[in-house]
Chains A and B, each alone.
Chain A
Amino acid sequence: MIRLQHLYKSYPVKGAEVPALTDINLAIEPGEIFGIIGHSGAGKSTLVRCINLLERPTEGQVIIGGTDLTTLSERDLQASRRKIGMIFQHFNLLSSATVADNIAFPLRLAKRKKAEIDRRVNELIQLVGLEEHRHKHPAQLSGGQKQRVGIARALAADPQVLLCDEATSALDPQTTASILALLRDINRRFGLTIVLITHEMHVIRSVCDRLAVIQEGRIVESGPVLEVFLKPQHRATREFIEQVEESAELREAISREKAAGKRNIVRLTFIGEKTYEPVLYETMRETGTSFAILQGTISRMKDTPYGQLVVNLDGTPEQTRDTVRLLQSRGVEVEAL
């Protein structure tokens, strides 16, 4: 759906070219939700703006649905942009227009017929659940409602791609969850390809299929969310994962336990349905090992349940070895800490 090839972007600052993006290569598949995570200043906003050419890349190609946008004339580019919806951190709604007029706006720009516009606005206003608010102005809405208007507006012209620029960063956790649920729903129902940039790992974890980690204008790691999450390769990725996973507290606990002579601390990772099965208890009972749980998470990555437990195994070296082997044979990943 979207292919970025050898994308470079630099800005002239006092005569010198300062690179913002360096050799970005990404292939985003139709119908997937692709997350790009990075700290502020890492280049993720520039990257997402290169996809619809709000920022023109210095070098490289932006291919959407087979067309290289960088080669298009102004007019053709405007036509292509209508097929790419975009939502923003600060919503960017017209303050002078009502909810309904904001949603109708892209259709009016495209000079669609009035009857068609009215029908589409009604559909969308219902989709995002703002029927009672159709005559209100943005200033009368909450942040979450504004973003719903933003989403409806972005979908108005039936785009194939939806770009989300920190779409939930200005929202509280509950509203964030409801907006993410709406995005997931839209993705499923319309098969819309979504590119989402954020600095929050929990956003990636709850909706994305694949992700890329961007640091200093380069993609340092990418892959399916589950894979990257459970086996992060790059330091930047691990830092983002720590936002939602083990904290400094756990590291402290581990070193405390180790100082106390406990050497058998392992992290166990369960993926899929066995997350909910009593694998750990049964294994321990068979080998006669006892254990203490230091930390644990049972969660979901988009649709896949997973669990991670950090435990201290208490037993003879043989018992410990058997336990590890047995757990591995039952599909649990074991990592010594």
Chain B
Amino acid sequence: MNGIPGFIEAISFAGAERSAGLPHTLAALAANGKLQEWYAAIDWPQIGGGILSTLLMLGISLLFTVVIGLPLGILLFLTAPGQLLQNRPLYAVLSFIVNILRSVPFIILMIVAFPLTKLIVGTTIDVPGAIPPLVIAASPFFARLVETTLREVDRGVIEATQAMGATRLQIILRVLLPESRPGLIAAVTITSVNLVSYTAMAGAIGAGGLGDLAIRFGYYGFQPGILLVTVFILIILVQLLQTAGDRLVQRFIRK
């Protein structure tokens, strides 16, 4: 009994009715000793290593995503029609590239990006191999969020600042960014949650981390315990990120 058919069989065997829902299914699995059996089979140091890899991928790729996506988002905002550096051709080109990158499914983007990844970090596997595709996928997404957030900044405030004789750089650094800080933090939060799900996908093609454990050992290796634990950890991780992000937004919101 290997792979997913076996897994589904075990679950459907345990749950009296399929519609009974997860709690019932888990209760039934616990009752017949399946859960305990799965739990005993979990290799905790392996899970620990998976968490570390996932956090590394998340942290490094989020950093580069912000470093690349924030200026890109600002540029998108500034060059859009009617804005401070209005430039239709540049905006059209940037917008087109961002749209293309956003329309390629991540799992395919990773494969397409292999040569570039190899060029940048020298490998296409493990944590380093995952960083370039993660950044390539998340930066355009983040840039769009930044653009939308900056558009929310009151035009009147920008006008008032211009009337004070501010330079464009001063307007960006002293008005646009501080005024949109809560929105930008929210954008980073959303992007980080997206990255968590991307890192899991990256696991499918050799990046390591929790996604890799879930797919390789949990799914192909028929260790339902690992599958359940990794999903549980990912849920916790996303909750933590979202809560932390929301708290920061609340701290800076002034409206």
- Of A93-101, A236-244, A250-258, the one contacting chain B is A93-101
* Beta-carbon nearest neighbor of A86 in chain B: B163
| Contact across chains for B165 and A81 when beta carbons are under 8 A apart | yes
Q: Contacts A94-B175, A96-B178; is A86 near B166 (CB within 8 Å)?
A: no
Residues of A within 8 A of B159 (CB): 54, 88, 92
Q: What A residues does B179 contact at CB under 8 A?
A: 94-96
Partner of B165, one of A78, A90, A95: A78
In whole angstroms, how far apart are the Cα atoms of A157 and B166 in the complex?
13
A205 within 8 A of B: no
Bound together, the chains give a CA A81 to CA B161 distance in angstroms of: 10
Q: Digit string of A53-81 for contact with B (CB within 8 Å is 1, else 0)?
A: 01000000000000000000000011111
Q: Are B254 and A138 in contact (CB under 8 A)?
A: yes
Given contacts A95-B254, A139-B255, contact A109 B166 (CB under 8 A): yes
- In chain A, residues 153-172, which have Cβ atoms closer than 8 Å to a Cβ of chain B? 157, 163
Answer yes or no: A298 CB below 8 A from chain B CBs: no
Q: Does A137 contact B (CB under 8 A)?
A: yes
In the complex the two chains form, is A92's CB within 8 Å of B160's CB?
yes
CA distance A8 to B178 in the complex (A): 37
Interface residues of B (CB under 8 A from A): 154, 156-157, 159-167, 170, 174-175, 178-179, 181, 252, 254-255
Question: Contact: B164 with A157, CB < 8 Å?
Answer: yes
Q: Which chain A residues (188-244) contact chain B, with CB distance < 8 Å? A: none
Known contacts A78-B165, A80-B165, A110-B165; is-contact A88 B160 (Cβ 8 Å):
yes
B160 touches A86 (CB 8 A): yes
**With A96-B181, A139-B255 known to touch, is A105 a contact of B156 (CB < 8 Å)?**
no
User: How distant is A78 from chain B, measured CB to nearest CB, in Å?
Assistant: 4
With A54-B159, A92-B154 known as contacts, the answer to whether A105 contacts B164 (CB < 8 A) is yes
Give A158 Cβ to nearest chain B Cβ, in Å: 13
Partner of B156, one of A78, A90, A109: A90
A106: Cβ under 8 A from any B Cβ: yes
A80 to B252, CA, bound (A): 34
**Does A84 touch B at the CB level, under 8 Å?**
yes
B115 CB to nearest A CB, Å: 44
In the bound complex, residues from chain B placing their C-beta under 8 Å from that of A108 are 174
A50 to chain B, nearest CB (A): 12
Q: Which 8 A-B pairs have the closest CB atoms?
A: A81-B165, A92-B160, A92-B156, A78-B165, A82-B165, A106-B164, A86-B163, A96-B178
Q: A145 at the A/B interface (Cβ < 8 Å)? A: no
B contact face: mostly helix, strand, loop, or mixed = helix
> Which residue on B lies nearest to A150, using beta carbons?
B160
- B151 vs chain A, min Cβ distance (A): 15
A52 within 8 A of partner (CB): yes
> Mind listing 6 A-B residue pairs with CB under 8 Å?
A77-B165, A79-B165, A81-B164, A88-B160, A92-B157, A109-B170
A298 to nearest B CB, angstroms? Answer: 39
Task: Give Cα A138–Cα B157 distance, bound, in whole angstroms.
Answer: 12
Do A84 and B163 touch across chains, with their CB atoms under 8 A apart?
yes
Cα(A163)–Cα(B252), bound, Å: 32
Give chain B nearest CB distance to A51 CB in angstroms: 10
Binding site for B on A (CB under 8 A): 52, 54, 77-82, 84, 86, 88, 90, 92-97, 105-106, 108-110, 137-139, 157, 163
Would B163 and A81 count as touching, CB distance under 8 A?
Answer: yes
CB-CB under 8 A from B175, the residues of chain A are 94
How distant is B203 from chain A, measured CB to nearest CB, in Å? Answer: 40
Collect the chain B residues with CB atoms within 8 Å of residue A163's CB.
163
How many whole Å from A100's CB to the nearest CB in chain B? 15
A216 → chain B, closest Cβ, in Å? 24
Q: What chain B residues lie within 8 Å of A80 (beta carbons)?
A: 165
* Bound-complex Cα distance A110 to B161 (A): 12
Q: Complex Cα distance A160/B181, Å?
A: 34
Q: Is the CB of A109 within 8 A of B174?
A: yes
Cross-interface CB contact of A93 among B157, B162, B178, B181, cutoff 8 Å:
B157
A91: shortest Cβ distance to chain B, in Å? 8
Give the shortest distance, in Å, between B250 (CB) and chain A (any CB).
14
Q: Is there an interface contact between B254 and A109, defined as CB atoms closer than 8 Å?
A: no
Residues of A within 8 A of B167 (CB): 78
| Least CB separation from B171: chain A residue | A109
Residue of A nearest to B167 (CB): A78
Given contacts A54-B159, A93-B157, A96-B181, contact A78 B254 (CB under 8 A): no
Q: Are A96 and B156 in contact (CB under 8 A)?
A: no
A38 CB → nearest B CB, Å: 20
Asked whether A54 lies within 8 Å of B162 as measured between CB atoms, the reply is: yes
Collect the chain A residues with CB atoms within 8 Å of residue B163's CB.
52, 54, 81, 84, 86, 163
- Chain B residues with Cβ under 8 A from A106's Cβ? 164-165
Residues in chain B near residue A82, CB distance under 8 A: 164-165
Q: Is the CB of A139 within 8 A of B254?
A: yes
Q: In this complex, which of A54, A81, A96 has the most chain B Cβ atoms within 10 angstroms of its Cβ? A: A96
- Return chain A residues, CB-CB under 8 Å to B166: 78, 109
* Residues of chain B with a CB closer than 8 A to A97's CB: 178
B-chain residues with CB within 8 Å of residue A138 when the two chains form the complex? 254
Q: Which residues of B contact A96 (CB under 8 A)?
A: 178-179, 181, 252, 254
